[in-house]
A and B are shown apart, each in its own frame.
Chain A
Amino acid sequence: MMRFLLLFSRQGKLRLQKWFITVTEREKKKMIRDMTLMVLARPPRSCNFLHWRDLKIVYKRYASLYFCCGLEEHDNELLTLEILHRYVELLDKYFGNVCELDIIFNFEKAYFILDEFLMGGEILETSKTAVGTAMEEAATLQETMEEYMSKPTF
């Protein structure tokens, strides 16, 4: 299973953090710092895989964002690259030409999309369209309830 998924910018600013294991707040901060340092230090045309403690780290850079996740021994690194790519595609489909700013200003949506795609460190849905459909329907639900309550969204 995937242990965690982090998104951070080239300056090391965290944009999203998903933890599939239970760790202390302090430990999380340390891991984030380690990941950021390690990944940002990599020369441009390096291999996308690293070893850190007992985990395999897979990272991929998309424009100004680094997607970084920690895998266990049995996980397939090459497939994880595909997982990261699929997540980016989902974000792209949802936001339309997604960029870092979209994720900054709509971080909660990035989380919702992620939660339709992965769960407990495993892939939940392999269909490209199913995630998008779920997001749309849930949004409708939100609007319906808001309209009913006639109160503004957050």
Chain B
Amino acid sequence: MPAPIRLRELIRTIRTARTQAEEREMIQKECAAIRSSFREEDNTYRCRNVAKLLYMHMLGYPAHFGQLECLKLIASQKFTDKRIGYLGAMLLLDERQDVHLLMTNCIKNDLNHSTQYVQGLALCTLGCMGSSEMCRDLAGEVEKLLKTSNSYLRKKAALCAVHVIRKVPELMEMFLPATKNLLSEKNHGVLHTSVVLLTEMCERSPDMLSHFRKVWLLVPQLVRILKNLIMSGYSPEHDVSGISDPFLQVRILRLLRILGRSDDDSSEAMNDILAQVATNTETSKNVGNAILYETVLTIMDIKSESGLRVLAINILGRFLLNNDKNIRYVALTSLLKTVQTDHNAVQRHRSTIVDCLKDLDVSIKRRAMELSFALVNGNNIRGMMKELLYFLDSCDPEFKADCASGVFLAAEKYAPSKRWHIDTIMRVLTTAGSYVRDDSVPNLIQLITNSVEMHAYTVQRLYKALLDDISQQPLVQVSSWCIGEYGDLLVSGQCEEEEPIQVTEDEVLDVLEGLLLSNLSTPVTRGYSLLGEILNRIKKVVSVYGSSIDVELQQRAVEYNALFKKYDHMRPALLERMPIMEKTASNGPTEIVQTNGETEPSVPDTKHPPLVTQPANQANDLLDLLGGNDVVPVIQTTLPTKPASAGGELLDLLGDLSLSGGPAPAPVPSVPVSQPPFLLDGLSSQPLFTDIAAVIPPMTAYNKNGLKIEFTFERANPNPNIAVITIHATNTTEADMTEFVFQAAVPKTFQLQLLSPSSNIVPALNQGSITQIIRVLNPQKQQLRMRVKLTYTHKGLPVQDLAEVNNFPPQSWQ
């Protein structure tokens, strides 16, 4: 059999391959040759074959069949074999393969070899990939070598010991005696590895740590070594750009950090040397800055005196202005760590940090963004937010989500005014809306409901934004919801803070229908849109969704359809405003605020005790009459509820898009009546559909000029003194009656509450009706009488009429 080709030959050949396929073919051929060579147990060329295998492994091809061969090489007497064998073991074997344990004996023998380079190979392999079992078996040998006077072996043994301790922490103790004298060595290799070993021990064992501090007096020793390094003259073998052994210096500084942490005496002992290093280190090259960086980290972590801390932060401040990007990055990272503890000192560098937002480098921008958010407080919120919003506008998409969340969090915590808060949110939604996290939509909605006085302003701005752009989903969702809820404010044009815009219901509907039709709207957004439509157009639009693919939409559409058809008289009550939502846990990129829904509601004066109900499921919710609420949107009951998810489950009651009519009613005690079993506080739960309507017959209250008004009755449970009358206005003429307003007055002994009508157009030819709910409180049980005033426009002419209604059925007031 001809000699297998040499390694370099193979490499050359493989590199000539022009395609992946060609390369694969060559490799396969060679692997086959190697495999047969292995089978022949050829000692001479084993080394060569394994070397070739390692090359092919690096190219990404499987080489597991060479594992045992590596073991054979390790066992060989030839140094070349051992070298390749151990290399192969480190590349192909690891502790998950059982094969590796076979190495243990070889390594043990080699640890006691007469040649230090063989011992070195064994130590290196054990120290890189030794498993816990191997470490346990061989720890004794390593410990022996730690005590040798051969510095070449000593330094390797030290790092091997570090690995052993990492794998088997219990073995730490046994290395303690041998470690004691390590620091008295002159050899830098040994010094360095000893410091690493001591560091590892200190990090793992607080006992060791205090032992080193108190008994060994490690700190003065280290200080002395460091001082010698700095003061020593030029040493060619350790010099890096004029600094003597920066690697050792940094390692010592790191160990000092651990020793000085939460220990006054140790910190005191190292103050001088730290100050010396901080002031005297040459900063023109990276190596000097590396040492300064480590020094700063140490100063910030130990119990240093304030002068030293200020020095450290100033060094970081200087770093921020350095031309070298790496140094700026490192400064930002360090400042992020110290901003919690030394907030004021870091604040001094705020403007530089904010400038870093404009840096071209992506890593720096990210750090600057995180640090900027950490620096935001009540004083600088306006200025910082301006910068951050500008950043949000111009930054890469990878930042937008985090930045948006950060902005929301900061705004929540420090907003100087509600209007500012809402403006900020609007800005985020319009500029980075598509990147905003899903959970922020419900959070925003909750925020908006809470800022009651801003409802009109909010809905107006959202509507305007919607007119401009419907491509950003979260914006569309929030806008649709708000229009649904506060549409009456929008249409009535009331707004103190801005120019009121004249918006008709139709225009709003156009926008919403546009949303529904737009391809850009996700089903979720469409769900939100569905909330906001008014009756006449709803039936058309909603019935389309009755057969929608999305289950959520379909369910809602069907529910609404049912609502309109069968339970129309309940609709006005159902379509009332949403109560103010409780705040629950808000999550952001850097903080989690744990509130768990137990926070105090931020509700304006409430005269009634809060009613506590658990969230109902969706089916029950539709039936959930939150009776007795005022037309005025200040809700006087608060309910802790789950936040509406993006699916918009629970509490999505329709808000009415109608003009608020009728006098401001007196507050009526509110009684929630609902099906779910979890009502608290002794509030009775009663079924809704006791056939009250069937008990009291409906009546015609008015019938003139084609306008017919019918009254249907219910009792408000459980208060029998309240009669709930629903008026139905229909029109038999061929022209619509527009701007229809129904007003009613009752004798003094009664109290009247008129809720919002469903619309103000009575369609011609009985195509639809207006419904409106009247609640009459009749504590003295007198005969019910009512005077009604009707105004509307018919065929372009205004019509007004007064009438008395006296024919109430006795059951309605007895």
Q: Do A and B come from one complex?
A: yes
Contact at B290–A119, with CB atoms within 8 Å? Answer: no
1/0 per position for A131-147, CB-CB distance to B under 8 A?
00010011001100110
Q: Which chain A positions have C-beta within 8 A of B55?
A: 107
Q: Which residues of A lie under 8 Å from residue B79 when comparing CB positions? A: 138, 141-142, 145
Residues of chain A with a CB closer than 8 A to B247's CB = 79, 82-83, 123, 126
Question: Within 8 Å of chain B (Cβ to Cβ): is A53?
Answer: no
Among A20, A29, A76, A105, contact of B128 (Cβ-Cβ < 8 Å) = A20
A119 lies within 8 A of B286 (CB): no
CA distance A138 to B152 in the complex (A): 13
Q: Indicate if the CB atoms of A81 and B250 lie closer than 8 Å.
A: no
Stretch in contact with the other chain, from B4-12, B423-431, B522-530, B737-745: B4-12
Residues 464-522 (chain B) with a chain A CB within 8 angstroms? none
Query: How far is the CB of B590 from the nearest CB of chain A, in Å?
Result: 15
Residues of A close to B96: CB separation below 8 A = 22, 24
Find out whether the CB atom of B326 lies under 8 angstroms from the CB atom of A126: no
With A and B bound together, what is the CA distance between A120 and B199 in angstroms? 14
Residues of A with C-beta under 8 A to B362: 46
Interface residues of A in 53-80 (CB under 8 A from B): 74, 76-79
Considering the complex, give the chain B residue whose CB is closest to the CB of A127.
Answer: B237
Q: A9: CB under 8 A from chain B?
A: no
A118 to chain B minimum Cβ distance, whole angstroms, is 9
A120, B58: Cβ atoms under 8 Å?
A: no
- Report the minimal beta-carbon distance from B799 to chain A, rounded to whole angstroms: 73
Known contacts A14-B58, A47-B329, A112-B83: A78-B189 contact under CB 8 Å: no
Please name the residue on chain B nearest to A112 by beta carbon: B83
Nearest neighbor of B47 in chain A, beta-carbon distance: A154
| Chain B 244-274: CB-based contact to A (< 8 A → 1; otherwise 0) | 0111101100100000000000000000000
Q: Which residues of B contact A107 (CB under 8 A)?
A: 54-55, 58
B95 close to A (CB within 8 Å): yes
Count how many chain B residues have C-beta atoms less than 8 Å from C-beta atoms of the other chain. 75
With an 8 A cutoff between CB atoms, is A125 at the interface? yes
Q: Are B290 and A122 in contact (CB under 8 A)?
A: no
Contacts of B294 in A (CB 8 A): 76, 79
Contact A46 B60 (CB under 8 A): no
B103–chain A nearest beta-carbon distance, Å = 15
Q: Which of B638-687 contact A (CB under 8 A)?
A: none
Total number of A residues with any Cβ neighbor in B under 8 Å: 53
Residues of A close to B574: CB separation below 8 A: none
Known contacts A81-B290, A122-B159, A130-B189; A47/B363 CB under 8 A: yes
In the complex, the answer to whether A79 meets B246 with C-beta atoms within 8 Å is yes
Partner of A126, one of B152, B192, B289, B364: B192
Q: Which residues of A sit under 8 angstroms from B245, Cβ to Cβ?
A: 126
Q: Shortest beta-carbon distance, B708 to chain A, in Å? A: 73
Chain A residues whose CB sits within 8 angstroms of the CB of B60 once the complex forms: 14, 29
The reply to whether A154 and B128 form a contact with Cβ atoms under 8 Å apart is no
- Bound Cα distance A104, B286 (Å): 29
Closest approach, in angstroms, between the C-beta of A106 and any C-beta of chain B?
8
Contact A119 to B237, CB < 8 A, known contacts A81-B290, A108-B84:
no
A82 and B287 contact, CB distance less than 8 A: yes
Q: Which residues of A contact B163 (CB under 8 A)?
A: 120
Q: Are A127 and B287 in contact (CB under 8 A)?
A: no
Q: Does A11 contact B (CB under 8 A)?
A: no
Closest to A138 in B: B117
Contacts A49-B329, A126-B248 given; does A115 touch B238 at CB 8 Å: no
Q: Could you give, for residues 96-115 of chain A, a 1 whenever the CB lies within 8 Å of some chain B CB and a 0 otherwise?
A: 00000000110110011001
**Residue of B78, B84, B188, B325 touching A47 (CB-CB under 8 A):** B325
In the assembled complex, A10 has its CB within 8 A of some CB on chain B: no
B169 CB to nearest chain A CB (Å): 15
CA of A48 to CA of B128 in the docked complex: distance in angstroms? Answer: 26
On chain B, the residues within 8 Å of A77 by CB distance are: 326, 329-330
- Interface membership of B141, Cβ < 8 A: no
Q: Which of B87, B117, B286, B289 meets A141, CB within 8 Å?
A: B117
Q: How far is the CA of A44 from the CA of B166 in the complex (A)?
A: 38
What 0/1 readout, one digit per residue, does chain B (154-176) give for beta carbons within 8 Å of chain A? 01100110110010000000000
B51 partner, pick from A22, A47, A83, A154, beta carbons under 8 A: A154
Instruction: Tell me the complex Cα distance, A22–B78, Å.
Output: 29
Q: A77-B326, A119-B156 are in contact. Are A128 and B237 (CB under 8 A)?
A: yes
Contact B48 A154 (CB under 8 A): yes
Residues of chain A within 8 A (CB-CB) of B78 are 145-146, 149
Write out the residue numbers on chain A whose beta carbons fall within 8 Å of the beta carbon of B387: none
B192 to A123, Cβ gap below 8 A?
Answer: yes
Contact A146 B80, beta carbon cutoff 8 Å = yes
Residue of A nearest to B45 (CB): A154
Complex Cα distance, B155 from A141, in Å, reads 21
B362 to chain A, nearest CB (A): 7
CB-nearest residue of chain A to B15: A104
B588 close to A (CB within 8 Å) = no
Docked-complex contact B80 and A124, CB < 8 angstroms? no
Question: B361 touching A127 by the CB < 8 A rule?
Answer: no
B545 within 8 Å of A (CB atoms): no
A-B contact pairs, 26 of them (CB 8 A): A14-B58, A22-B94, A46-B325, A47-B328, A49-B326, A78-B289, A78-B326, A79-B290, A107-B55, A111-B87, A112-B87, A115-B124, A119-B124, A119-B128, A120-B163, A122-B159, A122-B162, A123-B247, A127-B237, A127-B238, A130-B237, A141-B115, A142-B80, A145-B78, A145-B79, A154-B45
Q: A residues touching B (Cβ–Cβ < 8 Å)?
A: 14-17, 20, 22, 24, 29, 45-51, 74, 76-79, 81-83, 86, 104-105, 107-108, 111-112, 115, 119-120, 122-130, 134, 137-138, 141-142, 145-146, 149, 151, 153-154
